[in-house]
Amino acid sequence: MYVIVKIAGQQFKVEKDQEIFVHRLEGNPGDQIAFDEVLLKDNDGKISVGTPTIEKAKVNATIIEHLKGDKVIVFKKKRRKGYQKSNGHRQQFSKIKIDKIS
């Protein structure tokens, strides 16, 4: 059984007991969270598609930890002009575990 759920503006295909990385969510590690925007549900070959979401479908998850992704270097340069600009970025992520799909 799997579902496609919308979490923090992105769509994820999730199953029970799966751990995924999503954009940083509000809450502390150990908190329970629920996602109501279930777009598709597959229950052993029986597929339900929402218009746009499936009513009364919910995904419960637990926040495991908050962490940062790899550093991305943004470097801009214009040749023969003496212009150089360097910038770095580390995306904030939350690691969550899917507890229950209902």
pLDDT digit string (tens) for 10-41?
Answer: 999 999 999 999 999 999 999 999 999 999 99
Stated pTM of the model: 0.84
Task: For the chain, give the mean pLDDT.
Answer: 96
CA pair distance 33, 96, nearest whole angstrom: 9
Domain membership of residue 67 as a residue range: 2-101
Residue 73 confidence class, pLDDT cut points 50, 70, 90: very high
pLDDT of 22 reads: 97
Residue 60 confidence class, pLDDT cut points 50, 70, 90: very high
CA pair distance 95, 78, nearest whole angstrom: 39
